Copies of this chain bind each other. A is one copy, B any other.
Amino acid sequence: MRTGVWLVGARGSVATTSIVGGLALRAGLAGPTGCVTELPELRGPALPAFADLVFGGHDLATTPLYKRAEALADAGVIPWRLVAALRDELAVVEQELRPAPTGVTQADRAAAVVRDLTSFRERHELDRVVVVNVSATEPSPQAHPGHADPAALRAALDGPDEVLPVSSLYGYAALLAGCPYVDFTPSTGLRLPALAALAEEARLPYAGHDGKTGETLVKSVLAPMFAMRNLAVGSWSGVNLLGGGDGATLADPAANAAKVQSKQRVLGETLGYVPQGGTRIEYVEELGDFKTAWDLITFSGFLGTGMRMEFTWHGCDSALAAPLVLDLARLTAAAHAAGLVGPLADLGFFFKDPLGAPTHSLGEQWARLTAFARQLHGGDGTHDNVG
């Protein structure tokens, strides 16, 4: 099953790490640490092999992929020897990267993206192409009448307005090109009525949104722990200190707000009440591609006794995100092959703010994910998303 992985933001940290990792896995130079789809509970015949993944993508930036990979090696995100060993393979992928589309109207730009995707699929004789958004986080978009339904949307896109935020425009183009779509960012993507309807029409599955890699991952196991033990969480305060490209973007208050909101949702929905406190994101350039999060949780136990827990998470976001990007590409490709349509709620395990998912508990998400994988690999065939 030859599968294209088309990365929007293909020269970013997450994308570059995903590409280097995918190539390293294919070349047998690295193991699948961090790849969930290689665990016994998920592995199986329905998933494309790592060797069957072909990479391409769009980016506004023009820094050569190899330079980006070198910079990531300098920053301690990936090992030097891998970058050196994969120099030729990276040059091959470089040929598949395209500038962000241009055009007068958004309809023009969408058409340019469709051409890029179709040409990529045909050139490499791919069974399908999964589009994965790993570009910079956008501010929350303005409402627009074109968001309401497919007809209104098509009409509006031909006009002069910036109807759709960029993430949604790429999503729209993916649907037009017959490609399943994954949103790894907190941006809007397909989360607009018009686009959800279009995905149904196009019989395409999609997944999202906002990859769960750090503090929120930890929250998604600790919050259920407090809930299962009937302990009353009085406050949960967190701070995320991060450098890197994503950090700089999030320093923008509008983007920050979008991200913080998606982070707090886990708590309220898991505990059944919202504890005091909040989560902050601070940009500290010096921290580079590593992020340090610190959380303080105060809780009370039997008869009101006050207690507390704190944790510090020091993670490399791109190294945590990249294997999940590969996992999502594989699972979404398999879902497409199986004829599934619409939001893939069973992939909630991967996301901070999962589409249509009833739970934020990692354990419950895991149970759904493994059941989903069993079905893909030859389960009973009944599945909500089956079109």
Contact = CB atoms under 8 A, between A and B. Distances in A.
Contacts of A185: none
Given A217-B225, A303-B319, A319-B301, A34 B363 contact: no
A78 interface: yes
A133 B99 CA distance: 60
A54 B322 CA distance: 48
B76 A305 contact: yes
Contacts of A294: 239, 294, 296, 310
B309 A313 contact: yes
A317 to B, nearest CB: 10
A235 B287 contact: yes
Contacts of A322: 302
Contacts of A310: 294, 311-312
Interface in A306-349: 307-316, 319-320, 322-323, 349
A316 B311 contact: no
Interface stretch (A90-98, A105-113, A118-126, A272-280): A272-280
B285 A276 contact: yes
A66 B221 CA distance: 39
A362 to B, nearest CB: 6
Given A225-B362, A229-B217, A34 B302 contact: yes
A366 to B, nearest CB: 5
Interface string A220-239: 01101100111110110101
A310 B296 CA distance: 12
A241 interface: yes
Contacts of A32: 230
Contacts of A159: none
Interface stretch (A1-9, A17-25, A162-170, A189-197): A17-25
Interface stretch (A35-43, A261-269, A374-382): A35-43
Stoichiometry, copies per complex = 4
| Size range of the chain A interface in the assembly | 35 or more
Contacts of A284: 235, 237, 276-277
A292 interface: yes
Most B-side CB within 10 Å, residue of A276, A278, A292, A363? A363
A218 interface: yes
A302 B322 CA distance: 7
30 contacts: A17-B302, A17-B303, A32-B230, A33-B230, A33-B300, A33-B301, A34-B302, A35-B230, A78-B305, A79-B304, A221-B224, A222-B222, A235-B284, A239-B294, A241-B277, A276-B284, A277-B284, A277-B286, A278-B282, A290-B307, A292-B296, A301-B315, A301-B320, A301-B323, A302-B323, A309-B311, A309-B314, A309-B315, A310-B311, A362-B363
Given A228-B362, A301-B316, 13 more contacts: A30-B302, A30-B303, A33-B232, A33-B302, A39-B230, A218-B225, A235-B241, A241-B277, A275-B286, A294-B310, A301-B315, A301-B319, A307-B316
